[in-house]
Structure 1
């Protein structure tokens, strides 16, 4: 019971055993767990936020909004979603005025683009920006997704999304003078394509998100035959008896 339920301490296991009709003392349960090398305390499980993200990564999607200033001092906002398990990023939209109605519509479009894959999402992480309203949350809650707002001034709770923003700035937008909306859309879409299809990720075994399948190792047994060749570097003459025999 303790191995299958890491959050149970010896008291919980004792109660479950009593419910099953096994009349044993709590101290006996404690001793059995100790002898088996299992900590009787229920705190043997890491309950940190990082542990939760790692355990549920395949079912978590994060979203965020960041701004880009053009050379003409106009500010544009980019809304994106990123899957924690695959690290695949989806650019939802670009606008100068991120209103609640606009962001809610981008959330609907995102789920429509996912199709049946939307069923795999169980949690959505977002910050507490005023543009993420109840109508935005309702789009995801309608399909059974739990919306998890981050704590105020704790950007590490949305670290995956924040890291992508940093990568996008360092590798793309900070290296180019953006002239306008059309130029920004081109730069962001090209970088997202590069990020998903080519850029290696340490968490994915140095593979990009779209190439998660491990390539088969090369083999020489199917298409190539190996042949041994006598060394031509030796200058020693063969023994005379070798030529005396019959060949064939």
Structure 2
């Protein structure tokens, strides 16, 4: 072995203990610095939160540190240890298979049906959709429909003002028949007038007639035709509510007074006194008259007749617990229909301007 190599080896062997000794001193100094830094941080932080990985690391290091030094090395007290144990016990007995408390979430199939109704009926608000769902066997709350629309980024239709004159109409609804005129303009800008009647108790709507010249004699004849059409139901009526239009003459009133029906006149310039009839006139405008062109008087009669058939036979009404006026069925029970087993079929009305939904056979 050359002398130079031997000399280098001896020099390294001599310097090795010194290097090891210096590294231990450096490590001790580093540990002292970290301890002092931890002491400073503990004075500034009220509470230190440890993650599960931190706890495992401390547990491993505790096997290398003498037990009498744990208090100076680890910032863990017996109270902390017991708290960790309680968390482990609680995590073990959480029963994740049980459902969370609170109201169950809306089924995805119902949400899809809500979005379908909105897509096919642009003027329907959340309450109108809730009524249609109740008829189909999904008695969910209006707020649930609103949340589904809001989550999908669809603004619901604004709420419409309800009926006023509540004390009288509530107690006497089953005996009141209300009348009102509404006007509509044809494609040729010819104005037509339609006389409609509505029964407060059942919300059944009647079209008396449509004409371009609503004279007093024409109005009396429409009243006679209605009285004959109602026949036995006239016995259950006690009041006729109308405004002070000059077309309602004493002869018009006499047609109803012959069946012991008392005439009630609304105050001047107070349409809300006849709120239910005004509301149905607004419904006629929003759902059909403002969304299609009328050619002539015969076309107006055909359109209004078809809509009234839909209104009386299918359209749900809040005042009747989501039942149509012609329905004698009891209110639907709070049962939910499974969409996977029962399909929903759409039946267009007035060429698809409106839609009726029923269970597929």
Could you say which TM-score interval applies, normalised by the shorter chain?
0.5 to 0.7
Matched, 1:170 2:299: no
Instruction: Provide the rounded CA distance (Å) in 2 between the counterparts of 1:217 and 1:202.
Output: 15
Query: Which of 176-185 and 151-160 deviates more?
Result: 176-185
Q: Which residue of the other structure, out of 267, 273, 277, is the alignment partner of 1:161? A: 277
After superposition, what is the alpha-carbon deviation per residue over 1:148-172, rounded to whole angstroms, capped at 9, x for unaligned? 0110011011001100000000000
Instruction: Provide the rounded CA distance (Å) in 2 between the counterparts of 1:218 and 1:142.
Output: 45
Say which SS state the counterpart of residue 68 (structure 1) adopts: strand
Matched, 1:129 2:245: yes
Say which SS state the counterpart of residue 61 (structure 1) adopts: strand
Q: Which residue of the other structure, out of 76, 91, 104, is the alignment partner of 2:220? A: 104
| Displacement after TM superposition at 1:215 (Å) | 5.9
Question: Are the equivalent residues in 2 in contact too, given 1:77–1:96 (CA < 8 A)?
Answer: yes
**Counterpart residue number, 1:191:** 307
**Counterpart residue number, 2:181:** 65
Question: Are the equivalent residues in 2 in contact too, given 1:204–1:212 (CA < 8 A)?
Answer: no
After TM superposition, the score normalised by the length of structure 2 is 0.46
After TM superposition, the score normalised by the length of structure 1 is 0.67
Question: Are the equivalent residues in 1 in contact too, given 2:313–2:325 (CA < 8 A)?
Answer: yes
| Displacement after TM superposition at 1:191 (Å) | 0.8
Say which SS state the counterpart of residue 326 (structure 2) adopts: helix
After superposition, what is the alpha-carbon deviation per residue over 1:29-68, rounded to whole angstroms, capped at 9, x for unaligned? xxxxxxxxxxxxxxxxxxx942111101000000001111
Matched, 1:211 2:288: no
Moved over 2 A (4+): 215-219
Note the residue ranges of structure 2 that are not aligned, 5 or more in a row: 1-163, 336-361
What does 1:1-248 align with in structure 2 at a 5 Å threshold? 49-214=165-330
After superposition, what is the alpha-carbon deviation per residue over 1:66-117, rounded to whole angstroms, capped at 9, x for unaligned? 1110010101100011000000001011111111111011111101111111
Say which SS state the counterpart of residue 259 (structure 2) adopts: coil
Question: Are the equivalent residues in 1 in contact too, given 2:165–2:272 (CA < 8 A)?
Answer: no
Question: Are the equivalent residues in 1 in contact too, given 2:177–2:198 (CA < 8 A)?
Answer: yes
Instruction: Provide the rounded CA distance (Å) in 2 between the counterparts of 1:218 and 1:202.
Output: 16
Report the number of matched residues: 172
Q: Which structure is higher in helix share?
A: 2
Instruction: Provide the rounded CA distance (Å) in 2 between the counterparts of 1:77 and 1:218.
Output: 43
| Displacement after TM superposition at 1:119 (Å) | 0.7
Structure 1 residues 72, 115: CA separation in 2 closer, same or farther (over 3 Å shift)?
Answer: same
**Counterpart residue number, 2:83:** none
Instruction: Provide the rounded CA distance (Å) in 2 between the counterparts of 1:200 and 1:125.
Output: 24
Question: Are the equivalent residues in 2 in contact too, given 1:127–1:149 (CA < 8 A)?
Answer: yes
Instruction: Provide the rounded CA distance (Å) in 2 between the counterparts of 1:184 and 1:216.
Output: 35
CA RMSD of aligned residues (A): 1.7
